[in-house]
Structure 1
Amino acid sequence: MVDFKALETLVWVASLKSFHRAAAKLNTTQPAVSQRIAQLEAEIGTRLLERERRAIAPTEVGRRVIDYAERLLKLRAEMLHSVADRSAIRGTLRLGVAETIVHTWLSRFVERMAKAYPALVLEIEVDISPNLFERLNAQEIDLAFVLGTLAGPLFTSRPLCTYTLGFFASDALGLPDDPVPLSVLAAHPILTFSRNTRPYQAVRELFSGPGLPPVRIHASASLATILRMAEDGLGIAAIPSAIVETEIHAGRLRPIASPAVLPQLNFVAAWRMTPDSATVEAVADLAVEVAGGAVAR
């Protein structure tokens, strides 16, 4: 009798093209993965995977079995998530998070997750969105809260929240309360996100207009570093307004008015569609609810 564990193992080995990565995904050992595949091949009576020069690809029969397996696993995941008690849903969900989310509503999301899925373990990795997209594509994480969209038939997403970039600085810089021209802002270092992010590119383009002096843009992947540098009067932070509420209330930073128009940052929950993605989709929906409540506050 063919069991679901063997079918699930076959699907992940074929998808990840690696026994080692499939073992990590399934939280087991590589020998256990090899044994499951061998038992499944013995049960069906033919080879399901070709293993040549470390390359793994399904045979013709293997592709047919995988097609059935994906449908069976998808139905099982949907059934369990529909009828099972949420507290019985176990496993590890690998979550990638952009740092803006860390500084806004991630803690409330983790709190809600602990109540909704007490047996589901979160592994949280914080990185810039381009890196998280790469990791999601490589199936190294299951779900990502990121800036932008991820195109392709294998992926889906939900809108989470939208934040507006703004300029913020310490009173030590002596900037006026009236709108400050870009030429005046450019006299100070601009502190913003890493080079390969959309906010950095938007700031770079903004200060590349004709007649503007050269600008120094200090890039950092750490929002905490950007905030501290701005508080110390080392430059003007170009960051989402949602993450500086505490600093503004404490008088350590203040918004700097400018005629320049900075872009809005649209964040999404993105994941790769897999046969067992029912729980991931439900977690994404929970994130949408939490994010919406955070923005409405």
Structure 2
Amino acid sequence: MLMGGVVVQDFKNLETFVAVATLGSFRAAAERLHTTQPAVSQRIAQLEHQYGTRLLERTSRVVTTTEKGREFLAFAERILRLGTEMRDALVDGSALRGTLRLGVAETIVHTWLPGFIGAVARQHPGIAVEIEVDTSPQLRERLLDQEIDLAFLLGPLADPLVQNLPLNRVALAFLASPDFPLPPAPLGIAALAGLPLITFARHTQPHAALRTLMTRSDLPPPRIHASAALAPVVRLAVEGVGIAVIPPAVAARELDSGALVSVATEVALPDLVFTASWLGGHEAGLARAVATMASAAAAAASAP
């Protein structure tokens, strides 16, 4: 099958070479591409035979590029990028079809995701979106394992085979029941250290940032409760169990009703930075198109 004069199999071989060269391993490339190690070796052998030169140096522990291989890597990456640009320019966006497995961090579900999914349905009626909500660490693993096609998560992902587009930044806030016994505001770190805090799951960026902030030799051990889902965090805060450390949008209804109030503090936590991330390649056109739409939608939703 030809595409713009380039055999699709050549794209497969080039993608395989880039994977081996960037990951430094035939086995790792095979796992990432969901193929077998012999298939990877065969594709590399085809390239080396086709161009009459050794591209990779193989040892028992690591694979490195030869001098010609480094030159070839630059050309391969350029060809793959041009192939993507050609397809994006020539394919009618309204004709996109297929099922997109989309993984989403819960914070985005509470902000601009519903309107965005509606826009995708209107502009691309041939796309069916399957949405799965999970923590960012889990979404990263599922994306690399190709269990999902596109992830909206805390990023960007530093992986040579992953492409990222910026989405939006979300601030964290301290929220509590108006009946929760608080020291005089604004609360400093010492005052917060004596209070129960409720936030995202362990091994997530916001949980790690909060724990790093609160772990000091002059403070008592922090009391940080964690939850993989944010609805229990909001509910526990409403019930007066502790102070929720979450984006205000997650508890918009409770803030509007007065069930929760914002707690003034002297503490600044880093914003949550979200990206759209997907595995690159000549077959990633659907994920790339939706990611491009998402980047524009998130920017518009964040505009003042």
Pair in the same fold by TM > 0.5? yes
* Residue 250 (structure 2) aligns with: 243
Change (3 A) 1:161 1:11: closer
SS in 1 for 2:173: strand
Q: How far did 1:265 drift?
A: 2.3
SS in 1 for 2:266: coil
* Residue 102 (structure 1) aligns with: 109
Q: How far did 1:222 drift?
A: 0.4
Q: Deviations over 1:115-174 (max 9, x none)?
A: 222335445343234x222333x2413322221322244333222111111110112213
Q: How far did 1:254 drift?
A: 3.5
CA distance in 2, matches of 1:208, 1:72: 49
CA distance in 2, matches of 1:92, 1:157: 20
* Residue 289 (structure 1) aligns with: 296
Q: How far did 1:103 drift?
A: 1.5
Change (3 A) 1:78 1:122: farther
Native 8 Å contact 2:104 2:132 kept in 1? yes
Change (3 A) 1:201 1:67: closer
Q: How far did 1:73 drift?
A: 6.9
CA distance in 1, matches of 2:103, 2:205: 18
Q: Deviations over 1:232-256 (max 9, x none)?
A: 11111011123222211011x4344
TM-score with structure 2 length normalisation? 0.69
Q: Please, which of 122, 127, 133 is the counterpart of residue 119 of structure 1? A: 127
* Residue 45 (structure 2) aligns with: none
Q: Deviations over 1:30-66 (max 9, x none)?
A: xxxxxxxxxxxxxxxxxxxxxxxxxxxxxxxxxxxx9
Change (3 A) 1:205 1:69: closer
Q: Please, which of 167, 172, 179 is the counterpart of residue 165 of structure 1? A: 172
1:48-197 aligned at under 5 Å gives the runs: 77-117=84-124, 118-129=126-137, 131-136=138-143, 138-140=144-146, 141-175=148-182, 178-182=184-188, 183-197=190-204
Aligned CA RMSD, in angstroms, stands at 4.7
SS in 2 for 1:261: coil
Q: How far did 1:220 drift?
A: 0.6
Q: Give the paired residue count.
A: 293
* Residue 280 (structure 1) aligns with: 287
Letter in 2 for 1:269: T
Structure 1: where are the runs of 5+ without partners? Answer: 16-24, 27-65
CA distance in 2, matches of 1:125, 1:202: 22
CA distance in 2, matches of 1:236, 1:194: 15
SS in 1 for 2:142: helix
